[in-house]
Chains A and B, each alone.
Chain A
Amino acid sequence: MKVTRLEVLRASWFMWVKVHTDEGISGIGDLHGGSGGVGDPAAVRAGVEMCGDYLVGKDPLQVENHWQHMFRMCLFRGGADLMAAIGSVDMALWDIAGKAAGLPVHRLLGGPVRDRVKVYGHLVGDSPEAMAENALSMKEKGFKALRFYPLGPFSEGVPDSYTGIVRRVVSFVEAVREAVGPDLDLMIDVVCRLTPPEAIAVGRAIEPYGLFFFEDPIEPDNIDVMAMVAERQPVPIATGERLYTIYQFRELLNKKAAAYIRPDPSVSGGITNLKKMAAQAEAQYVGIVPHNPCTPVMTAANLQICGAVHNVPVLEYTANEHRSPKCDVVNRLPEFRDGFLMVPKGPGLGIELDEKALKRFPPERHSRAPVMAGDGSLRDY
């Protein structure tokens, strides 16, 4: 079997890679926007072209070999964009390998270790009351874990004072905890927007609410400081969605900066690389909670990883896959059952794109409002 063509498919603000072969089998992978988390992720698409320059004509089944080639041909390592491309191509190659063998990917990798995985649903709300109400409705749908942004409207930045930030977070967390009761797992994500002192103050203030994790408390670049935040406040840290090599995760783990790591199947180098990161984490008693903000294709790839990897405590789930456009662009949605997602049993990743439907959702740029401090300067966003 030979790879004949790599194609980037787009709809709405989503992208996928489709790898075609000369034997009728094709594979797909969700493509993260990489550096284009804001704007048009053109660099990622260029990364896919570069991977295609290498991959076309090769036997798609030699997945690890191709991973090493695509990684090492970047003499100057390609960063989030190239890694997102490699990760997406890697997912598609595993999809092909599974289909060629007639097996779901998790079975190739020695699984299943589980047939379903607990998910945390994204919970949204601009006020503590709205958040509490939404939490209750998600609890009624069966969710056993919920994650939310505890600083008010996402596009409006953060409160202007140190104590204002702490009070704001406490008010949201308290409202959600009271609404759902003591036995639902709750986690917060501040998407790297806080300074270390703010993050430490927030973590200490919310200790009574028993949060499962505190995600991305500070900017992602300095692992020493992430470790300091982990040490100086009591809530377990989850981080890693913006890291993409085993070398970064090695440092994160050796410095004990995370209780949970969050590699993304696209940005962090695909199923091949995530399996290695999971092993690194297993040796440190750290859970891997794969990042899963994109489409049901990524969810399916993540479910294959969850089916094969021991140390997955919970998986991210946007909880909007049944809404358009996500539900319209795939042939089937991973099944949600009582707070768990079922690991797909079909060959490969167990999901296909509906390419005709893609046309109904023209490509959009990623939009994310910058977060400004009170004086007009920039925070991380």
Chain B
Amino acid sequence: MKITKVETLRASRFTWVKVHTDEGLHGIGEAHPASGTSGWPKAVYGGIEYCADYVVGKNPLEVEKHWQHMFRRQLFRGGSDIMSAMSAIDQALWDIAGKAAGLSVSRMLGGPVRDRVKVYVHINGETPEALADDARRRADEGYKALRFYPLASLRQGMPDSYQGIVRTAVAFTKAVREAAGPDIDIMIDVVNRLSPPEAIAIGRALEEFGLYFFEDPIEPDNIEAMADVARAMPVPVATGERMYTLYQFRELLARKGAAYIRPDPALAGGISQIKKIAGLAEADYVGVVPHNPLSPVSTAVCAQLCAAIHNVPVQEYTGTEHEPQKRDLVNDVLEVEDGFLKIPDRPGIGIDLNIEAFKHHPPVPYERPIAYHPDGSLREY
């Protein structure tokens, strides 16, 4: 079998690759917007072209070999954009390999270790009351874990004072805990916006609410600082969505910077590399919580990983997959039942794109609000 073409497909705010072969089989994979998470992910499109130059004409089934080639031909390592492109192609190659074997990807990798995985769903609200309402709604739907942004409005930036940040986080967390009751897992994500002192103060103030994890407390680049924060406050740290190499995760784990790591299948090297990252985490008693903010294709890939990997405590789930801008784009979405995502046992990654519907959902750029300090200077956003 030979790869004949790698197609970049776009709809809504998503990007996928479709890898065609000369034997009628094709595979799909999702690309993360990477550096283009604000605006158009142009470098990712370029990355896909670059990787296609290598894979076209090759046997798609030699997945690990192609991973190594795509990674190592970047003499100057390409960063998140190339890794996103590689990840999407890696997913598509595993999809083809699974279809060719008549097996789900998890079965090829020795799974399933589970046929469903607990999810945490995103809840939203710009006031403690609104957030509590959403928490109740999701709890009523059966969800057993809820994640939220505890600093009011993601769009409007941050409270203006150190104490104001802490008070806001406490108010939102308290409201969610009271709405959800004591036995639902709740977790917060501040999307890397805090300074280390702010993150430490919040983590200590929130101890009484029993948070499952505190995600991305500070900027992602300095792993030593992340480890300092993890040591200085009691809430387990989850981080890693902006990391994409085995080497970065190795350092994060060796320095004890995280209790949970969050590799993204569309960014951190696809199924091939996340299996390796999971092996590293297992040796450190660290859970892998795959990052999953994109389309139902990413969810399907995460589900295969969850079925193949022992140390997955919970899976991210946006809770929006039945909305038209997601549901229309695929042939099927995975179902959540009683707070668990059901993992399909179909060949490959178990999902396909519904390209017919793309015309109703033209590509849009990413919009991510900028976070400022009160003096007009920039925070991490």
| Chain A interfacial positions (CB closer than 8 Å to B) | 61-65, 67-68, 94, 97, 101-103, 107-114, 246-247, 249-250, 254, 272, 275-280, 282-284, 308-310
Contacts and interface: CB of A to CB of B under 8 A. Distances in A.
Given A63-B110, A279-B246, 18 more contacts: A64-B109, A64-B113, A64-B310, A65-B111, A67-B110, A68-B310, A109-B64, A109-B108, A110-B62, A113-B64, A254-B254, A272-B110, A276-B282, A279-B275, A279-B277, A283-B249, A283-B276, A309-B64
Nearest to A59: B112
Nearest to A111: B64
A65 B61 contact: no
A284 B112 contact: no
Contact of A250 (B63, B272, B276, B284): B284
30 contacts: A61-B107, A62-B110, A62-B112, A64-B109, A64-B110, A64-B111, A68-B310, A94-B110, A97-B107, A101-B103, A101-B107, A102-B101, A108-B103, A109-B64, A109-B108, A111-B62, A111-B64, A113-B62, A246-B279, A250-B284, A275-B279, A276-B282, A279-B246, A279-B279, A279-B280, A282-B276, A283-B246, A283-B250, A308-B64, A309-B64
Interface string B250-277: 1000100000000000000000100111
A353 B276 CA distance: 32
A278 B63 CA distance: 16
Contacts of A102: 101
A64 B65 contact: no
Interface residues of B, number: 36
B62 A283 contact: no
B110 A107 contact: no
Contact of B283 (A113, A250, A275): A250
A64 B308 contact: yes
Which of A249, A275, A279 gathers most chain B CB within 10 Å? Answer: A279
Contact of A247 (B97, B276, B283): B283
Given A279-B275, A283-B246, A101 B102 contact: yes
B283 A310 contact: no
Interface in B85-137: 94, 97, 101-103, 107-113
Nearest to B245: A283
Contact of B113 (A65, A246, A282): A65
Interface of B: 61-65, 67-68, 94, 97, 101-103, 107-113, 246-247, 249-250, 254, 272, 275-277, 279-280, 282-284, 308-310
A279 B276 contact: yes
A246 B254 contact: no
A346 B209 CA distance: 56
A247 B108 CA distance: 25
Contacts of B109: 64, 108-109
B283 A112 contact: no
Nearest to A65: B113
For the complex of A and B, the 9 pairs showing the least CB-CB separation, nearest first, are: A276-B279, A279-B276, A63-B110, A110-B63, A283-B250, A250-B283, A64-B110, A110-B64, A246-B283
A64 B279 CA distance: 12
B65 A113 contact: yes
A284 B250 contact: yes
B282 A62 contact: no
B65 A111 contact: yes
Contacts of B250: 283-284
A108 B271 CA distance: 13
Given A113-B65, A249-B283, A279-B276, A108 B111 contact: no
A142 to B, nearest CB: 25
A240 B222 CA distance: 32
B279 A310 contact: no
Contacts of B247: 283
Nearest to B72: A310
Contacts of A108: 101, 103, 108-110
Contacts of B65: 111-114
B141 to A, nearest CB: 29
A64 B102 CA distance: 19
A306 to B, nearest CB: 12
B283 A276 contact: yes
Contacts of B64: 109-111, 113, 308-310
A309 B279 CA distance: 14
A246 B283 CA distance: 6
Contact of A280 (B63, B97, B101, B283): B283
A107 B65 CA distance: 11
A114 B275 CA distance: 20
A283 B61 CA distance: 24
B110 A280 contact: no
Contacts of B283: 246-247, 249-250, 276, 280
A110 B249 contact: no
B282 A310 contact: no
B307 to A, nearest CB: 9
Contacts of A280: 279-280, 283
B279 A101 contact: no
